[in-house]
Chains A and B, each alone.
Chain A
Amino acid sequence: MSNAWGVRGRTKIRPPKKIVSDEIDFEKTWAVIRDAIQEIQHKNASKLSFEELYRKAYNLVLRKKGKMLYDHVELAIQQYLLNETRMQLLDSLKSDDNRTFLLKLNDVWEDHLLSMRMISDVLMYLDRVYAKEFHLPLIYDVGLKAFRDSVIKYNQNEIGMAAIEIIIEYINRSRHGEMIDKFIIKAIIFMFSSLSETISMDSNDKVPYGENYYLRYFEPVLLQQSHSYFEQKATELLAYQSGTIYIDNVMQLSQDEEARIQLYLPDVTSPKLIELMDNDLITRNMESIMKLENDGLRNWISENNFKMLASLYRLIGRVDSEFEMLKRQLRLNVLSNCENLNSKTKEELELQEKNAEERDPEKRAKKKSGKESATQFAVRWIQNFLDLKEKYDTIIKNSFEGNPGVVREIESSFSEFLNLDNKTAEYLSLYIDDGIKKSFKDKSQEEVENLLDKSIIVFRFIKEKDVFEKYYKNHLARRLLQQKSSSNDIEMNMITKLKQEIGSSFTSQFEGMFKDIKTSQDLSGDFNRKLSGDEEIRKVNGRRLDMETSILTTTFWPMPINKALSEVRYPEELELLRNRYESFYMTKYGGRNLTWAPNFGTVDIRIHYPKKTYEVNMSTYSAIIILSCFREGSGKQEYTFDEIHEITRIPKPDLIRHLQSISVASRTRLLKKDPMSKDIHPTDVFSVNEQFKSPQTKIKVSTVSSGSKVEDDSQRSETMDAINKSRILETEAAVVRIMKARRQSNHQELVNEVIRQLINRFRPQPSFIKQRIEDLIEKEYLARDEADRNIYHYLA
């Protein structure tokens, strides 16, 4: 038969120059190629002719000797590697130092690659025609495989493992600071990576595609060794019990390690090794490092050690983009710092007092009342809280890259703490109260603005905003009525900020209060002008009377309308004024109900004592007592407590307080009390204190407990009761509002909507809402669906 493509046929393509025999002498041709391969392997290729060798191989392939040629070439390469290359390397391993051995290994590898390049060049036709047709590896790859099997892996990985051990040792030495020959390591690793473990795609062995010698044999050893190194290093560093030492070292170590990876390890290993390192050094230990008492997170935060915190942040960021362990520890830290606020504030106040006493021992006597210092405490507490907040803000900015997750965690920790009880709402309101009354006076507009903004920060944390509203309303009412507010602008500014924060429904009552005050001032002006010509008044009093009134819309103001108030009996002058004002007001606003609240307001009275005449400003109640009982020239000089009560009908608790302020308080002892004691008893006798003396002509009687102060526990529980009542109303109103709009709704949707509507005021518990719904069903506002108990209907 024909050998190639038709030399034999009777019809011929151009007669061949010479008829070659079918059986080309394979052995003879192969001998030439084999010798050439050997010459190439011994670096004598420059004597060989490419064209001649190519032609020989080409003709063998054309004559269907491809397989023989291929197999012979493979064998020749294997034998050379096994008998010459391998032996040289074993000799070197025995007699040379490690580095020389590695250099030798790399040399023979590079020589081999060069040889294979040339061999595969001349066998190009074999590659393209024979190997391709039979899906065999190209000659060059046969060479790589032979190097792997006949040199590196021969005799149970003899040479490969020797090289791996040496390199691992080098890497270890480099980790301990020794200089090593990076280039030879890189070169050998590159060689290992070039030695594929899967030569052809369709091989049936279980090695994954793309696996190479490096991945299969070197990397596991490297990772194992690195793991023990990192673990040992971690143990070493942990022994110092110092976060600073640990973090500084880990930072340095990871930098060094990454540089090392960059220098000579392949990209595939980099993530594995870094993950291992991060796991051994960071994930496992960083939380206990943060917890260290003397040199851990607590210290860094209290000392504002931004650099350390930033390092900590960066290290944790390597292992967890969510920073969970940092968040966990930060929360504990924030809560613990918050808990310390109480003791810290107390200490500061005591210290301050002590200092004040040292400077001025006179003041010792004037110890603050318990409530006053409690107010100071509240103000100071909020200040301290804001300082703490700012401290964390600065840390977040300087060390934590403003990480939103960390910010959320810290805010939520603050929020958790602030909402443990309702004190915060009261403290905050007091803080603002104190500011507007006193401390903002000497501050610039920007500073005040800044302080108000800070108040809003705290406000934001408070979940039960209605509690704050309650306190703020009380404090604001006192400020307005007692004209203690330093600036209307600041008041309005604060209200605007609150409004921006959660909406106008929250502040509408505050604004109403302001409006009342303004209207009242105008009314008072009109009234007093009218009064100036009133003859009757002049007759009663002998001179002109003025009256300033505050007309308060009941629903805006926090003061309860007490029945007892209307029973108070006024002295002649005041009664006259009252009547005049009522008729004046009714001409303007007929149909409105006017209730007098003598428990607020003050009266100026001129009192003639034997030695001197004083102008005294006192509470309306005190004025009623003086004017009703102790007028000049009245027959009776002495009155018992009960008699005074009988005459004035001032509610007893109030009467006690006001009598105290004009008969017990040392500087304003206008009346004499018998017996002299602090407490007031029903049988006590009061008379004008003829001995009264005061350096000033104008005196102000301050009523006991008239400022904004911290509530005591019973007051607080009263406040909370009131708030609870209003919560019930608000919740029911919300339920009815929603049901009116929807006509019907299932339970869960209704509860969700109620929570959504009320979230700006407080956080109603679902059970609380459920209770309200039950009540409304009882009151027949709602009804359950007959078929589905979960659905409610609105009953018009």
Chain B
Amino acid sequence: MNQLDEWDYSPLILASICGHEKVVRLLLEKGAIVNRDTFEGSRAIYGALTDAIRGLLLSYDITKAVDVTQPFASHISALLQRPSIATADVRIGDFRLHRFLLTVMSAYFAQPDVDFSGTSGQVLRFLFEYIYLVPSLDLKGVDVDELRRVADETGLTYMRVAVDMILAQKSAADINKTKNTVQHTMYETARQKLKVLVDGIVSNKIAKDGRLTAAEKRALVAPWHADLVFRVHAGSRTLHYAVHRAIFSRAEYYLTLFGSGFHDTAVFAELEEDGVVDLDRLYAQADAIPEISLPSSDMLEISEQTVEILLRHLYFDEADVPPQFAMETLVLADALFIDRLKTIAAISLSSIEDFSTVSISVYDVLRAAWEFKVHRLEDRVAYLIAQDLDKFCADPQFRDIILESSRRINARQEFDTIELIDDIRFYLAKKHAIDQDGGTLNPTMARVENDEYLERVRQYEQDIMAVDRILEELGLNA
């Protein structure tokens, strides 16, 4: 089943490359091995003809280093396995760990003295990989009885359940399926726990316009084993949250900030020793606890809700961005380089039927779409304008925005098109269900040219003429 031919192809690779989804599924169910860490495995996955096959293969991948469908989980795994900056604050065995994360996952770690000196390295490895959501769930070399004891002791009951579930399986295919189930539960549990953490952080924020005193800082940060104060101006208030570099480094902006040799978080370089930061020393000189902020505060008023959307997204991939905060979230995500949140915000924005309900002008949405390069929104605006063309033709601001669109091309030539106009024409055709390629040339189409169809063509041409009139007024040729 897993043999290779003279060109190192396995049946699975061939089925994957040639796009036979059913064959791929059959092979996987019969125990064909996908291992991303091997040449054959990566060949099957990256050579997959369709996304469906790729997804199928990934769901059977026995070594998944990260789960691409769970960005937050892969970030947390990376904190354990390949941290880009030193954010760990405690060392157990050979592992550099984060107290806030351990405590979130199990109250056991909140005790002052946790002692794992008697636990074998492999059991510790499994335990921490489990806590850090590493998807491999690799039981190789693990003393299962010892692991069960550790699970009981630390109160990680699901870990025990998961191990027993995996051990109960016989075939490789069943083991993989079970691991997938377990991974899903692991992620959901972790998200719930991190949600509780964020709720706590949010409810314990301090609103204060002036600088926090050292004591205030310590009181804010220490209970959460946090290492930063997140200071934002929201609404009319200045808010302070206890946050973690480990989580904030998900945003490229903060990762760069933490990694660059500037003053902002330079204190951690002094506190770090062999990849572990001494947080107690930081709390002892609480004045030095760094404050970080948002980059765009003088441009746009950010609401408290938006700040918290950001926190929830960073900590546990919250994907719910209510339309009324979508614009702010979009701007914020753009400035912080969080592409996924930016996309979510854009989707939320383009789901709005009537922008007046969220007090945003269509034109501003279009300008934002240009500024932040969100094509989805440009389309959406063109669509909305096409739907209600008469109203917009009467609006002088419509003319302004057409001019703005025409200027977006450097050194515009006479024959260059105006993107906005093109888009509007496209949606007008759709609106009136006109076949733009000229259906009359097709004899079968001729028969549908009944009165109803002719009426639609008439309306369409009317709309087009309305647009052309405006262009003429503006002296534009497009």
Contact (A54, B298) CB under 8 Å given A2-B367, A10-B361, A13-B360? no
* Chain B 411-434 interface residues, beta-carbon cutoff 8 Å to A: none
Which of B295, B296, B328, B365 counts the most A-chain CB atoms under 10 A from its CB?
A: B295
Which residues on the B side are within 8 Å of A20 (C-beta)?
298-299
Interface segment, one of B9-17, B40-48, B165-173, B262-270: B262-270
Inter-chain contact A46/B262, CB cutoff 8 Å: yes
B292 interface hit (Cβ, 8 Å): yes
The residue in chain A whose Cβ has the minimal distance to the Cβ of B265 is: A50
Kindly identify, within residues 662 to 696 of chain A, every residue whose CB is under 8 Å from any CB belonging to chain B: none
Pair A4/B299 contact, Cβ less than 8 Å: yes
Interface set, chain A 107-137, CB cutoff 8 A to B: 114, 117-118, 121-122, 124-125, 128
Which residues of B lie under 8 Å from residue A11 when comparing CB positions?
355-356, 359-361, 363-364
Please tell me if B179 contacts chain A, counting CB pairs below 8 Å.
Answer: no
Interface mask (A1-41 → B, CB under 8 Å = 1, otherwise 0): 11011110111111111101000000000000000000000
The docked-state distance in angstroms from the alpha carbon of A62 to that of B327 is 16
Contact at A121–B300, with CB atoms within 8 Å?
Answer: no
In the docked arrangement, what's the CA distance between A5 and B260, Å?
30
Q: Is A48 a contact of B299 with CB atoms below 8 Å? A: no
Contact of A124 among B256, B293, B397 (CB under 8 A): B256
Q: Does B162 contact A (CB under 8 A)?
A: no
For residue B303, CB closer than 8 A to chain A, the reply is yes
How far does the alpha carbon of A173 sit from the alpha carbon of B7 in the complex, in Å? Answer: 49
**Does A443 reach chain B (CB closer than 8 Å)?**
no
Q: Which of B186-194, B368-376, B386-394, B453-461 contacts A (4 or more CB under 8 A)?
A: B368-376
| CA distance in complex: A106, B24 (Å) | 55
The reply to whether A49 and B264 form a contact with Cβ atoms under 8 Å apart is yes
For chain B, give the interface size range. 35 or more
Known A14-B303, A14-B328, A125-B335; contact A55-B361, beta-carbon cutoff 8 A: no
List chain A residues, Cβ under 8 A from B257.
Answer: 50-51, 54, 121
Question: How far is B305's CA from A349's CA once the two chains are assembled, in angstroms?
Answer: 114
Contacts of A13 in B (CB 8 A): 300, 327-328, 359-360, 364
B300 touches A50 (CB 8 A): no
B233 touches A17 (CB 8 A): yes
A59 within 8 A of B: yes
B263, B360, B367, B404: the one within 8 Å of A48 (CB): B263
Chain A residues within 8 Å of B263, by CB? 45-50
* Shortest Cβ distance from residue B164 to the other chain A in the assembled complex, whole angstroms: 48
B51 within 8 A of A: no
Q: Is the CB of A48 within 8 A of B256?
A: no
Q: Shortest Cβ distance from B412 into chain A, in angstroms?
A: 16
Chain A nearest CB from B64 CB (Å) reads 30
Q: Separation in Å of the B233 CB from the closest CB of chain A?
A: 7
Q: Does A58 interact with chain B (Cβ within 8 Å)?
A: yes
Hey, which chain B residues are within 8 Å of A50, CB to CB?
256-257, 260, 262-264
CA distance A62 to B256 in the complex (A): 20
- Determine the chain B residues whose CB is within 8 A of the CB of A53 once the complex forms: 262
Look across to chain B and name the residue whose beta carbon is closest to the beta carbon of A57: B295
Cβ contact within 8 Å between A1 and B262: no
Measured in the bound complex, the distance between the Cα atoms of B297 and A54 in whole Å is 12
From 454 to 497 in chain A, residues with beta carbon under 8 angstroms from any chain B beta carbon are none
The answer to whether B261 has its CB under 8 Å from any CB of chain A is yes
**Residue B253 at the A interface, CB < 8 A?**
yes
Q: Mark B41-81, 1 if CB is under 8 A from A, else 0.
A: 00000000000000000000000000000000000000000
By a CB distance below 8 angstroms, the chain A residues around B363 are 6, 9, 11
Contact (Cβ within 8 A) B360 A62:
no
The docked-state distance in angstroms from the alpha carbon of A15 to that of B360 is: 11
A48→B257 CA distance, assembly (Å): 12
Interface size class of A (residues with CB under 8 A): 35 or more
The complex places the Cα of A62 from the Cα of B252 at a distance, in Å, of: 19
Chain A residues near B301 (CB, 8 Å)?
Answer: 14-17
> Given contacts A11-B359, A13-B328, are A59 and B298 in contact (CB under 8 A)?
yes
CA distance A15 to B364 in the complex (A): 13
Closest chain-B Cβ to A763's Cβ sits at a distance in Å of 40
* Contacting residue for B367 out of A6, A12, A49, CB 8 A: A6
Residue B337 lies at the interface, judged by CB distance under 8 Å to chain A = yes
- Least CB separation from A64: chain B residue: B371
* A84–B65 alpha-carbon span in the complex (Å): 48
The answer to whether B260 touches A118, judged by C-beta atoms less than 8 angstroms apart, is: yes
- Bound state CA distance, A20 and B301, in angstroms? 12
With A17-B233, A46-B263 already in contact, the answer to whether A58 and B295 are too (CB < 8 A) is yes
A118 to chain B, nearest CB (A): 6
Q: Could you say which of B233, B266, B295 contacts A55, with CB atoms under 8 Å apart? A: B295
Complex CA gap A20/B397 in Å reads 22
Residues A122 and B360 in contact, CB atoms below 8 Å apart:
no
In the complex, the answer to whether A124 meets B253 with C-beta atoms within 8 Å is: yes
Residues of A within 8 A of B262 (CB): 45-46, 48-50, 53, 118, 121-122
| Proximity string of chain A (282-306) to chain B, C-beta cutoff 8 Å, 1 when within and 0 when not | 0000000000000000000000000
Give complex CA distance A1, B367 in Å. 12
A59 contacts B299, CB within 8 Å?
A: yes
Q: Which residues of B contact A58 (CB under 8 A)?
A: 295-296, 335
| Contact A17 B261, CB 8 Å, known A6-B363, A11-B361 | no
- B275-308: which residues lie under 8 A (CB-CB) from chain A? 292-293, 295-301, 303
Interface centre among A11, A59, A114 (most CB of B within 10 A): A11
- Report the Cα distance A62→B370, complex, angstroms: 12
Residue in chain B with minimal CB distance to A47: B263
Could you mark each residue 569-587 of chain A with 1 if its beta carbon is under 8 Å from any beta carbon of chain B, else 0? 0000000000000000000
With a CB–CB cut-off of 8 A, which chain B residues contact A10? 361, 397
| Chain A 734-757 residues near chain B, CB threshold 8 A | none
Contact A62 B264 (CB under 8 A): no
State the Cβ distance, B474 to closest chain A Cβ, in Å. Answer: 15
Q: Are B253 and A54 in contact (CB under 8 A)?
A: yes
B295 and A54 contacting across the interface, CB-CB below 8 Å: yes
A51 touches B360 (CB 8 A): no
Whole-angstrom distance between the alpha carbons of A55 and B252 in the complex? 15
Contact A5 B298 (CB under 8 A): no
Cβ contact within 8 Å between B361 and A6: yes
| Shortest Cβ distance from residue A712 to the other chain B in the assembled complex, whole angstroms | 63
Which among B264, B337, B363, B364 has the highest number of chain A CB atoms within 10 Å? B364
Residue in A1, A6, A20 with the greatest tally of chain B CB atoms within 10 Å: A6
* Cα–Cα, bound, A12→B404 (Å): 18
Please tell me if the beta carbons of A46 and B266 are within 8 angstroms of each other in the complex. yes
- Taking CB atoms and an 8 Å cut-off, the chain B residues in 345-367 that contact chain A are 355-356, 359-361, 363-365, 367
The smallest beta-carbon distance between A3 and chain B, in angstroms, is 10
Tell me which residues from 231 to 280 in chain B have a Cβ below 8 Å from any Cβ of chain A: 233, 252-253, 256-257, 259-264, 266
Please judge, given known A-B contacts A9-B364, A13-B327, A58-B296, whether A121 and B372 are in contact too, CB under 8 Å.
no
B-chain residues with CB within 8 Å of residue A124 when the two chains form the complex = 252-253, 256, 337
Say how far B417's CB is from chain A's closest CB, in angstroms: 19
The distance in angstroms between the C-alpha atoms of A49 and B293, with both chains bound, is 11
Minimal beta-carbon separation of B328 from chain A (angstroms): 7
Give complex CA distance A54, B293 in Å.
Answer: 11
Contacts of A48 in B (CB 8 A): 262-263
Contacting pair A51 B295 (CB below 8 A) = yes
What CA separation (Å) do A117 and B303 show in the bound complex? 33
Q: How far is the CA of A14 from the CA of B300 in the complex (A)?
A: 8
User: Which residues of chain B are near A47, meaning CB under 8 Å?
Assistant: 263
Kindly state the separation between the CA atoms of A114 and B261 in the bound complex, as whole angstroms: 9
B371 contacts A4, CB within 8 Å?
A: yes
| Interface pairs (5), CB distance under 8 Å | A11-B359, A45-B261, A50-B257, A121-B260, A125-B335
Residues of chain B touching chain A, judged by Cβ–Cβ distance below 8 Å, are 233, 252-253, 256-257, 259-264, 266, 292-293, 295-301, 303, 327-328, 331, 335, 337, 355-356, 359-361, 363-365, 367-368, 370-372, 397, 400, 404
Q: Which 10 A-B pairs have the closest CB atoms?
A: A6-B364, A11-B361, A50-B262, A5-B371, A121-B260, A5-B368, A5-B367, A6-B367, A50-B264, A9-B361
Binding site for B on A (CB under 8 A): 1-2, 4-7, 9-18, 20, 45-51, 53-55, 58-59, 62, 114, 117-118, 121-122, 124-125, 128
